[in-house]
Structure 1
Amino acid sequence: MEAVHALGKEKGLETEVLFDAIEAALISAYKRNFNAAQNVRVALDRVTGKYHVYATKTVVEEVVDDVTEISLGEARAIKADYELDDIIEIEVTPAKFGRIAAQTAKQVVVQRIREAERGIVYEEFSNRDGDIVTGLVQRTEAKNVFIDLGKTEAVLTPTEQIPGEEYHHGDRIKAYIIEVSNTVKGPQVLVSRTHPGLLKRLFELEVPEIQEGVVEIKSVAREPGMRSKIAVYSKDENVDPVGSSVGHKGMRVQAIVDELRNEKIDIVKWNPEPAKFIANALSPAKVISVAINEDAKESRVVVPGYQLSLAIGKEGQNVRLAAKLTGWKIDIKNEEQAAAETLDESMNVIEVTGEESFTAESDAV
């Protein structure tokens, strides 16, 4: 009994789970060694550890199968008030089990413990969709990376890996839980390094103001391994959301850049006015004006000629991320192009100047 309690403590299992496993094991052992056809129940004393095996039989007029049935006369010899169709229990506790039966019992107990452990792990992770976990890279199989989380393994599939990122045995990495499923082999945790939620969670870990709700992350746009944009906002006028996210000498955001293997991160200030938010989202480019059509969620942005390539970004990356971040379609023009075009009457032109923003990248770049 001491061993049962010690095992429960070691495995993190309720002792009742272990007692149930032992009872099931004794039933299997009894059936294997004595009578496989019998319906039996095992009662295990939770204090002394003594057990009793009871065969269950149905009271019938005429016995056809003496393994599962008992005559009314025999039943009433045990207890006078038995009636037909009653279910009675007769103790059939063996003096001892054979070696094979004991081995069977051991196998059943081990299997039940494994199932219980898997159940605990699944319960622990099933409600953690969208959470962040830290683990050690164990191995790579068919381009899938397996990460040790302590109680279980997580799988990082090729589609969820940052392009160009290498994973070596023993590397400590953070990942975002996208799915937890209960399979025949136990709980399976699927994680991602490319999900926008990973960036959001990393900022929540690094920035106390975000944890406390003083600073709010409004939206995130990512092109994993390349560049990301994150929009932050604070209701408290005394708190600078961009400065809080950057940290002293950029330490907070630099920790995130290092975790994401030198992915560039633009931190911009969210604004409830779409024109100003769009101008901020195009950071580090400077914006002259933004014309918007709120119904169609379309905008035309005018930038100085020398800022056009910066606003668009390499292969259109900057404007593409700004569009994802804001949820608006963005068309960028320089001053000459804008002057030569007739603006759609549905668009309202707003003169804007971008608010504070910050771009973090690797110190090595």
Structure 2
Amino acid sequence: MSNELLEALNILEQEKNISKETLLEAIENSLVTACKNHFGKSDNVKVEIDPETCAFSCYQEKTVVDTVEDPVEEISLADAHKVNGNYQLGDIVRVEVKSKEFGRIATQNAKNVILQKIREEERKVIFDEYNSKEKDVVTGVVQRYIGKNVSINLGKADALLTESEQIKGEVFKPTERIKVYILEVKSTSKGPKILVSRTHPELVKRLFESEVTEVKEGIVEIKAISREAGSRTKIAVWSNDPNVDPVGACVGMNGARVNAIVNELRGEKIDIITWDENPAILIQNALSPAKVISVIADADEKSAKVVVPDYQLSLAIGKEGQNARLAARLTGFKIDIKSETQARESGDFMDYENDYEEDDYDDDYDYSDEELAENERLADTEQADVQTEALDTEADENEAAGTENDAADSGDEQ
């Protein structure tokens, strides 16, 4: 039996990653439990297992007395001398208990305890493994829908993608492989409960870390992210190496790097802009792909007045205000966007008297038919002041506010 037990423990250690020492301790406890059931008492029951051979011995420690009143706790001097002739009254004698004496019920109980300990250790090992991956991205396989939630197999455990953490309109098929962000890992009696997300802004950050070597190595930093999952994301990046273009590194040759992330997110658009500690420059970059004439930022009030060319107003605001809203979240500023005409009429244009030509603001941005139509529609109407409130930056660690510096770059839109 010892050889079989040793072989079984070695297999469990290799396949289940459960230490042999932990299992031996569980077996010792189970044998003590078996003795409890057999003798009705356990205070004087001891078990020893050789960790090298798994040979075990179970014995009772009995006190040598003249007259035995409790045969479980005491032994007569005559019986003690049968074990060793040197024992005297008051000595403690170890009396070996043969395993066959435990009885069928006691043996089964010991087996159950061992199996329970193995299950507990398996759950603990799995919990520790996925708990260490909390706030990280993993690849899982879609299993099935549970109501409106989705069960995702991560290999050794299943995760739950709740409806609130799914991208609107995204539909999954069984056996489909997807990447998810581990929100939380909870320990339960039935094993770890793993909650994952497809909408969290950190999912985008982790995808860039895995796709862009410079981000993974810390050469390029992702300073801030604002996201409306399934539609558009803006990220602000900064390079710690003056020889590395942060935007170019994230975009990759011919857009290969960012396109891989866009594909994983089912076509979600990603604007990559250069981070700047000067809030005015940061806001200008954040409103990309729209061109900006001027930005007056109040760092104390966390507010900014932005003037854009008349024909760029609708692009700066974005469809249903999305571009301005994401820019506000990214920078942490409340942004008031006006066209040049509106700014002049309201007296907010200040001293920016230099005329501009539309050609000065042309770029190679590929406007969609929908965006061009929206531009024309809004350009033909009188636009009121548009204010976009930043979300509470203190409530979301992914939002960042600028301080002061001097640099500018444009983000790419995928």
TM-score with structure 1 setting the length: 0.86
Unaligned runs of 5+ in 1: 361-365
Partner of residue 305 from structure 2, selected from 300, 324, 334: 300
Q: Deviations over 1:301-351 (max 9, x none)?
A: 111111111111111111000001111111100011111224499xx98x9
1:229 corresponds in structure 2 to 234
TM-superposed CA distance for 1:12, in Å, is 1.5
**1:24 to 2:78 alignment:** no
| Distance in 1 separating the partners of 2:178 and 2:93 | 60
Structure 1 CA distance for aligned equivalents of residues 42 and 62 of structure 2: 9
User: Which moves more between the two structures, 184-193 or 280-289?
Assistant: 184-193
Q: Is the 8 A contact 2:64 2:80 kept in 1?
A: no
Structure 2 CA distance for partners of 1:61 and 1:163, relative to 1, 3 Å: farther
Q: Post-superposition shift, 1:71?
A: 8.4
Question: How far apart are the structure 2 equivalents of 1:58 and 1:259?
Answer: 73
Amino acid at match of 1:283: S
Secondary structure at 2:53's aligned position in 1?
Answer: coil
Look up the match of 1:356: 410
Q: 2:175 is aligned with what amino acid?
A: G
CA–CA distance in structure 1, aligned partners of residues 212 and 253 of structure 2: 11
Partner amino acid, structure 2, of 1:286: K
The counterpart of 2:18, out of the listed 13, 29, 34, is 13
Distance 1:74 1:335 in 2: 112
1:273 aligns with 2:278: yes
Q: Are the counterparts in 1 of residues 35 and 42 from structure 2 also a CA contact under 8 Å? A: no
Mapped to 2, the partners of 1:88 and 1:119 lie a distance apart of 40
Which residue identity lines up with residue 282 of structure 1 in the other structure? L
Contact 2:280-2:296 at 8 Å conserved across structures: yes
Paired letter, 2:319? K
Any residues of structure 2 matched to 1:146-157 within 5 Å, and which? 146-157=151-162
Please name the residue that 2:294 is paired with: 289
**How many Å separate the matches in 1 of 2:63 and 2:89?**
14
44, 47, 67: which one pairs with 1:42?
47
**Structure 2, unaligned runs of 5 or more:** 1-5, 355-360, 362-407
Alpha-carbon shift at residue 102 of structure 1 (Å): 3.4
TM-score w.r.t. structure 2 length?
Answer: 0.77
Q: What amino acid is aligned across from residue 3 of structure 1 in structure 2?
A: A
Question: Which residue matches 1:247?
Answer: 252
The separation in 1 between residues aligned to 2:157 and 2:287, in whole angstroms, is 42
Could you say what secondary structure the match of 1:210 adopts? helix
Partner of 1:336: 341
CA RMSD of aligned residues (A): 3.1
Change (3 A) 1:183 1:63: farther
Partner SS state of residue 99, structure 2: coil
Which residue number corresponds to residue 109 of structure 1? 114
User: What is the CA–CA distance in structure 2 between the aligned matches of 1:191 and 1:175, rounded to whole Å?
Assistant: 6
Residue by residue over 1:128-159, the C-alpha shift from the partner in whole angstroms, topping out at 9 and shown as x without a partner, is 32111111112221322221111212221111
One-letter amino acid of the counterpart of residue 124, structure 2: G
| Range with greater deviation from structure 2 (92-101 or 261-270) | 92-101
Q: 2:265 aligns with which of 238, 245, 260?
A: 260
Identity %: 52
